[in-house]
Structure 1
Amino acid sequence: MEDLEHVTKSDVRVNDVDLGIEIMSSDESIVNISSDNESVKSIDFNNTDIRQKLSSSHLQTMYLLAVLLLLYRDVSSADVVVGRKGNSTVLQCGEDLGDEIITGVIWKIHHINNSSCLSSYANLAKRGLQINNNCNTRMTLTNITLTIQNTQISDGGNYTCEMSHAEGTFFTTTILQVLAQPSVSLDRNSDGSLECRAIGGFPAAEISWIPHSDYINTSEIKDLDDTWTVISTYKSDGDNVTCLVSHPTFVNGWSQSIVLSGRTHYFWRIIALIIFSCLVIGLFLYCRYKSKAIPM
């Protein structure tokens, strides 16, 4: 079996320039594995002529390089789309080709909860339009557009699209991130502590307090719809306390202050009680003094 004379790696650049690997045998036959933002060309490792030129170790190396190349393509060319829980989300499989006939589109979907599904259609000359969808009914496929109605947190994940037409097959990878805005409130408990809540957010909201206290207790609870409820309780001797809530859906954050006026009233009650006690004692002593001063 003839070994490779040399293995060379072509220029490796990021973003819109090809990442290619060139393998050249001694008889100058070349096998290329390349990737860019639009396409991936693969190699048939079962080809007899290629196997005659490559040793087992070289075949294993080519397998590894091909896998790494495809992984690089998925990460480097991925677009990020941010959706909102409850709204409609639209994903595009590449650019609109106008009047050019698309023979097939396949969406391979891997959700954040590790579930996966497939949505595809094929425009066959003899059978017409064939649609296959084993995803949930909220997802509809129209030409190169995938629409998700009433988007949920569980819809987030990796969406890889393969679009076929006359010039070949093109790949597009989209990462869908779904956000849910929390409902926030600040209340006082019966024991005098403050409680700040951020309900139904995704990701979980972050709660902080001004001024800081050593008696802050924060907990996170995951709800059935994959959103998070964050509850933070606060105890302090301060008179003016502010709860701060940060979340990706808040442009400037959320904050609310509360004045612990009950503590101030309690202070003045003590002062009034002291003054009243002094008056009573003074009156008692005065009366006693007057009684002793009157002659018998």
Structure 2
Amino acid sequence: MEKTILMTFSGKASIFRLLTIIAIIVSEYKSIEAETQVPSANMAAVQVSQQCHINATIEVSVQMDTDVVLCCLHCSPKEFVMITWTIFPGDETSCIIAYKKDKNITKETNCSGTRITWESEPERNFSLHIEPVTIHHEGYYQCDLVTPDRNFRSLYHLSVLVPPPVVNLSEEENGTVVCKAAAGKPAAQISWVPKGDCFTVKETHDNRTVTVKSTCTRNSFNASNVTCFISHLTGNRTLYLNHEILSFRTSGAFTMIIWIVKFSLLGGILSLFFWANYDIRCSVC
């Protein structure tokens, strides 16, 4: 009986110790969890601050005739005083779009006809909308956000890509083959297969587009088929030229000219012979 009682008491003591250990572990876990939650919140604040504080210029490239939205900040402060977008185009007067919260007014300076507007209500969305993008929209876009605590700034450099509207491959009468990509931005790159004796000329226009023309000697290609590759950031083009067919056409035209000359000479000789006989007959008469 005593032995049974001792074993029961010993079992209860073990269970009590186990429960005590579990309670201590749970208490320590909650303490650790509470401590780790504070650094987590601080870390999130640091990340938001880094996202809001942009020091570098962000490069943005868009194709002409498309829409673009520029975000002022990746975060949205609850309180702000004023937001200002300043646009510095490459060859035009700077444009300023601003919104002042306390008076709920917007103001634009030198922005008429630029097709640059707020994406939506500026008190809720600081983004700028350009629709559609033209080559004149290229430049720097600076957003300044004033808050009660501090000021934030983001800066974009917008580059406008223009696909070459005209591309062609032709064989000239002077014995050259010409591949051309007109008025692209940036300048297109031209390469040949097979390689030949070629030179490339670039012409920059007033609107900053570039026409590229590559000229090759026709006889420098050791193949009947010639391929011109036009590479551009907006897309690539491939043009083909059957050198043999064009050469055959050229030689055929040259042969025709030779036959025309021969017939002309023959006609001239016959005419002289006729008039000579006519003079002899007249002298005999």
* 1:210 CA drift (Å): 2.0
On the 8 A contact 1:208/1:245 being kept in 2, the answer is yes
Alignment of 1:142-157 (within 5 A): 142=120, 143=122, 144-157=126-139
Whether 1:159 aligns to 2:173 is: no
Moved more, 189-198 or 241-250: 189-198
Higher relative contact order (CA 8 A, sep 6+): 2
Bigger proportion of residues as helix: 2
Letter of the 1:116 counterpart = S
User: Equivalent residue of 2:81, what SS?
Assistant: strand
Q: How far, CA to CA, are the matches of 1:190 and 1:150 in structure 2? A: 42
Letter of the 2:161 counterpart = L
* 1:101 CA drift (Å): 4.8
* 1:174 CA drift (Å): 1.7
Match of 1:80 among 48, 59, 63: 59
Residue of structure 2 equivalent to 1:240: 225
Q: How far, CA to CA, are the matches of 2:209 and 2:67 in structure 1? A: 18
* 1:129 CA drift (Å): 1.3
Residue of structure 2 equivalent to 1:139: 116
Unaligned 5+ segments in structure 1 are 1-17, 19-34, 40-72, 271-296
Residue of structure 2 equivalent to 1:93: 72
Unaligned 5+ segments in structure 2 are 1-45, 256-285
For residues 68-110 of structure 1, the C-alpha deviation after alignment (integer angstroms, 9 at most, x for no partner) is xxxxx643xx333222112222111113638x35432111223
On the 8 A contact 1:195/1:232 being kept in 2, the answer is yes
Q: How far, CA to CA, are the matches of 1:212 and 1:152 in structure 2? A: 36
Match of 1:226 among 176, 197, 208: 208
Larger Rg: 2
Letter of the 1:247 counterpart = H
Whether 1:249 aligns to 2:231 is: no
Q: Give the direction of change, closer, same or farther, for the CA distance of 1:178–1:228 in structure 2 (3 Å limit).
A: same
On the 8 A contact 2:80/2:146 being kept in 1, the answer is yes
On the 8 A contact 1:121/1:132 being kept in 2, the answer is no
* 1:152 CA drift (Å): 2.1
Match of 2:246 among 262, 272, 284: 262
On the 8 A contact 2:69/2:128 being kept in 1, the answer is yes
Residue of structure 1 equivalent to 2:174: 191
On the 8 A contact 1:204/1:230 being kept in 2, the answer is yes
On the 8 A contact 2:177/2:218 being kept in 1, the answer is no
Number of matched pairs: 198
**CA RMSD across the alignment:** 3.2
Letter of the 2:104 counterpart = G
**TM-score of the aligned structures, taking structure 1 as reference length:** 0.57
User: Equivalent residue of 1:197, what SS?
Assistant: strand
**TM-score of the aligned structures, taking structure 2 as reference length:** 0.59
On the 8 A contact 2:95/2:108 being kept in 1, the answer is no
Identity %: 27
Bigger proportion of residues as strand: 1
